[in-house]
Each structure stands twice: as structure tokens, then as C-alpha cells.
Copies of this chain bind each other. A is one copy, B any other.
């Protein structure tokens, strides 16, 4: 903790110095005001051995090697510095001279990376808490960089932080920091920092998914949860059940092949982002009816509101051996392809509407005491298969909060219904992920996508705001901490959070805008917390905004269409110029 006093000073200074704009802010940091340039002659070593610094991509493989992972991270960091960097004029007063003189000779000489621990298989597919993500980073005034971390994941974080110290010079291909010497020690507040991306309502391209992984890594987000199927479409190719995607994809081209899926997993692992696959069941799976008979009840049932949350309805027939056979085949195909890359498999479980089973010829009931044992049996079966594949189950909260099912101790519960749900689940001993719709739903707030015929429906829903409007803005997201108000002993059950990107009105045209930089706000809270360690208060927007403005420019330069959060007038001045004081 010896750096704390200097760190406090540094953070106070940040409010007026966008040049210190690391995102997320490290837990402890002190910086100077010395200039250091960097060029491609920089020498990089990993545990004392030189590595190829530029142009390296780890080979496609399900076996991971720490050196290859680190080498890829170094390449990306240097690519960020030399190829996708930016001149930060937008963060300085207009027409001001903010750049160092090119005549200054100090250069980054060496980057010495020391990994003090040994990676294990779980480093590359961790359960929450399996990996020590901490790192320390020092940059001396004379250009010697030292990175120390226990895991290669920590090294990746350090390299990302390092890359954010540098700017492009307007005079040409020159790259510099103005903050030497730098001393950082850093580690995350929560082990699970994620985004949930819906691939079923609208298809998201493999490139878009990979670009999202890139941006997540820049934000030190480490879990990408793919909601890969739903009642709307089944884009996932399952070779042993080929009709699923043949009949269920929106278009023959809009699928994820086994090679696509492996590629996404590997892309994530190389960047410290674990990909979590969800097959939502026993609701939200109506589309299976297009491929296989007798598995689904209430598919496309109307009026939909009596049978599901949104069209089309459709749930598993809960007392059918055919459903068990289907899941058996599905999991035998899919789980072995997930297990090399991920510790988890998500079986969904949200919004099951009991009325669906009224239409089930084998059940004809919506009574909890009829359905609950059937659900418990099904979940036991599914989760046993997941465990047998070496994975841990993940479920939406209704499996507990609505249906009161018994879960294994290894199971993670994802809460979205807000109120006291996260607290209640944590206090009852569940491992919880916070996806509270009041804060973390990035999709909603832009109006209804459902059609309202003229008449009663039109009049009731006018002016057509959606169910969780208004838009969840980054300031609101930043104000929310998943474990706030939960006692320390129970807070340890809160593993972190996930932002939800349901895709009713999201595709390649607007994906980046929807996610960034709002997800950055959560990323910082989950990494560094939103409380200023010195004052014990929420970190002030006056300190946060200049950094987020700058980080948005950095993401933009790196090829992600993050939206602006302020006009250039504000970004060019200190944060008080655009602040509302009483």
C-alpha cells in the first residue's frame, strides 16, 4: 500500500489532465511529467528471453502456451501504439501546443516482462477467482519498463495499460508519453466482468464478435457471454443435429460453424476474455420446432403475452423423453467443443411461462407443484451432463427466485430482475452475477419494437417507450456497484456483473454505438470500483469524464465506433467547464 499517498495525488490531478487517461483507472498509480518516446527498436523480453515484438499472432489451437499468449499481447500493444494510435488534440484546449518537442531524446529502451507464477489449464478457462489478474508496471525516466505479474493474464492487462500511456505526435510517426516515471500496481475488484451478447434475435457477425472481444480486452473486461440461441433463431451449427441451423438460422449464411465457434473461443483466450456459451432452456427455445417435432410447446402461440415475454413463444415439453434425448445429443456434440476454452456452460432459464405447459398434451397444467419437480429433474439432468464435461453450470435467476430449484454449489446465478435480487441470492449463498436491468441493459430505452395495431393497443402503449426506458446512460451505469449494500461476508458471493445486449434492434449497423463507451463505465467500476479510496465517496464525474472522453477517442482510433459522450467543447477543457454546479 506504500503507493497510496502518491496515487491519491495523481488521481486528484487527473481531473485537469486528460494526459493521464488510463481506463480503467489502476488501483494504485503514480506518474511524473517526463517525456519518453517509443519506437520499433524497443527490446522486449519475457522471463529474460527476447520475444518477437511485432506482427505476431498466436497459432489457432486449443492448447495454449504462456509465451505465445504474451507474445500476442506484446504485438497488439505495440500495434496499438504504432498503428492505431491518435493525436489527442481533442483533449486539449483548441489551438494549444500540448505536444512534446521532437528533439527530446529519451526513449523506451526495454520492456522486461517477468511472470512470477506458472499458468495452468485454468488460467485459460478460469472459474471466477482461479486466476490472479494482478500486475505491476513501472516505467523509469530513462526508458526501462518492467512488468511483473503472476499470470499471463496479468501480463496482458499490464501491456494494455502500457499501450494507453502513449499518443501519436501530429508531426509524423512519433509516439510518446508525458508521464514518466510511472508506477502502477493493479488488480480487479471483481473476477467476472462481462458482456452478454444476443446472437439469436439479430445475427451478429463473427468479425463483430471478435472486434467486441478486442474492445473488451482494452477495457479489462474478461467474460463474453454469448446468448447464442433463442426462440427467434438457431444460428449454431450442431453437426449431429444438422436441421437445427438448417431450419432455424435466419439464412444459410447466418450461422456459426464449429470452426467459427472455436475461432471465437481462441480469439478470446488470446486476449484474456473467456467466452461463455448459453443455450437458453427450457423457455426461449421455440425455434427448435422448425427442425424437430414433438419437443416444443406453444411455438408461435398468440396472443403471445399469455405464453411468453415476446414473440415467438416456445418452450420444451417438460415431461418428454424426446427432450432428454435431444439435450443428450446436443450436449454430447457441443460441450466437448466448449470445454477446452471455457469453465462454464449457461443453460439459461429466464422467463419460462407456466402457461406454455397448459398446451403440453403430457402436462395440461400451469401449477407450480406440477412443474417444479419436472424442472428440477430436467435441470439435474442437464447440469450433470455439464459437470461430466468438466464445466460449471450457469443459470438465469428465475431458476431460483421463481422456481425455487436446488442448484449445485458450483452453479453461478445471473440476476437481472433488480430490486434486492442480487443481495438476496448472495445472502442465501449463491454465486451471483449482476445484470440488473435498471442499470445494465444496454439495449433498451430506444422505444418499442413490437407493432401496436390501431385501437386499444396503440392507445395503451403510446408514446411507445419500451419496458425499461429510458436509455441506461453511462453516468447511471457508473453509479452502480453490484455488491453495494451487501455485507462483506456475502459480498464475496457477488462475482461481478454482465451488461446485457439483447438484439431486437441491434445488428452490425449499431452494435459498437450501443456497447461503447457505456460498457467502459461498468468496466471501470468492476475493475477499480467507483469509490475514491481517499474520500470514500463515489468517484466524481469531474475526474471520470476526461478519462472516458479520452478513452473513447482511443477506442475510435482502434476501429470501434464508440459514440461521443460530450461535444468537443467539453473534451477540450477541464470537466468543470461542462459541469452543473448548484
Q: Give residues in A with beta carbon < 8 Å to B.
A: 89-90, 94-95, 201-203, 232-233, 246-247, 249-252, 300, 302-305, 311-312, 445-458, 461-465, 469-476, 479, 503-507, 509-510, 512-513, 537-538, 540-542, 545, 556, 561-570, 572, 575-582
Alpha-carbon distance between A305 and B462 when the two chains are bound, in angstroms: 32
Pairs A-B, 4 closest by C-beta atoms:
A447-B473, A232-B569, A201-B567, A451-B579
Alpha-carbon distance between A504 and B570 when the two chains are bound, in angstroms: 9
Inter-chain contacts of A312 with B (CB < 8 A): 569, 577
Asked if B462 and A445 make an inter-chain contact with CB atoms under 8 angstroms apart, the answer reads no
Most chain B beta-carbon contacts within 10 A, residue among A451, A454, A541, A582: A451
Identify A561's interface contact among B232, B304, B510, B567, CB under 8 A.
Answer: B510
Alpha-carbon distance between A320 and B250 when the two chains are bound, in angstroms: 66
Inter-chain contacts of A565 with B (CB < 8 A): 449, 505
Identify A471's interface contact among B232, B300, B471, B568, CB under 8 A.
Answer: B471
Identify A579's interface contact among B202, B450, B542, B575, CB under 8 A.
Answer: B450
Inter-chain contacts of A575 with B (CB < 8 A): 451
Q: Known contacts A462-B476, A509-B563; can you find 11 more A-B pairs with CB under 8 A?
A: A250-B572, A311-B569, A449-B565, A452-B579, A453-B541, A453-B581, A457-B582, A461-B580, A465-B473, A503-B567, A509-B512
Inter-chain contacts of A201 with B (CB < 8 A): 567-569
Inter-chain contacts of A474 with B (CB < 8 A): 447
Asked if A566 and B94 make an inter-chain contact with CB atoms under 8 angstroms apart, the answer reads no
Alpha-carbon distance between A537 and B569 when the two chains are bound, in angstroms: 46
Asked if B475 and A447 make an inter-chain contact with CB atoms under 8 angstroms apart, the answer reads yes
Asked if A541 and B451 make an inter-chain contact with CB atoms under 8 angstroms apart, the answer reads yes
Alpha-carbon distance between A247 and B93 when the two chains are bound, in angstroms: 11
A568-B250 contact given A476-B462, A509-B513, A556-B509, CB 8 Å threshold: yes
Asked if A473 and B446 make an inter-chain contact with CB atoms under 8 angstroms apart, the answer reads yes
CB distance from A324 to the nearest CB of B (A): 27
Inter-chain contacts of A202 with B (CB < 8 A): 564, 567-568
Most chain B beta-carbon contacts within 10 A, residue among A457, A505, A564, A580: A580
Asked if A454 and B538 make an inter-chain contact with CB atoms under 8 angstroms apart, the answer reads yes
Identify A300's interface contact among B203, B300, B577, CB under 8 A.
Answer: B577
Inter-chain contacts of A476 with B (CB < 8 A): 447, 462-464
Asked if A445 and B457 make an inter-chain contact with CB atoms under 8 angstroms apart, the answer reads no
Alpha-carbon distance between A454 and B577 when the two chains are bound, in angstroms: 15
Inter-chain contacts of A464 with B (CB < 8 A): 473, 475-476
A564-B505 contact given A445-B471, A451-B578, A577-B300, CB 8 Å threshold: yes
Inter-chain contacts of A247 with B (CB < 8 A): 94-95
Inter-chain contacts of A233 with B (CB < 8 A): 568-569
Most chain B beta-carbon contacts within 10 A, residue among A249, A300, A469: A469
CB distance from A474 to the nearest CB of B (A): 7
Alpha-carbon distance between A582 and B306 when the two chains are bound, in angstroms: 10
Alpha-carbon distance between A469 and B468 when the two chains are bound, in angstroms: 13
Inter-chain contacts of A540 with B (CB < 8 A): 453-454
Asked if B509 and A311 make an inter-chain contact with CB atoms under 8 angstroms apart, the answer reads no
Identify A566's interface contact among B246, B505, B509, CB under 8 A.
Answer: B505
Inter-chain contacts of A305 with B (CB < 8 A): 580
CB distance from A222 to the nearest CB of B (A): 25
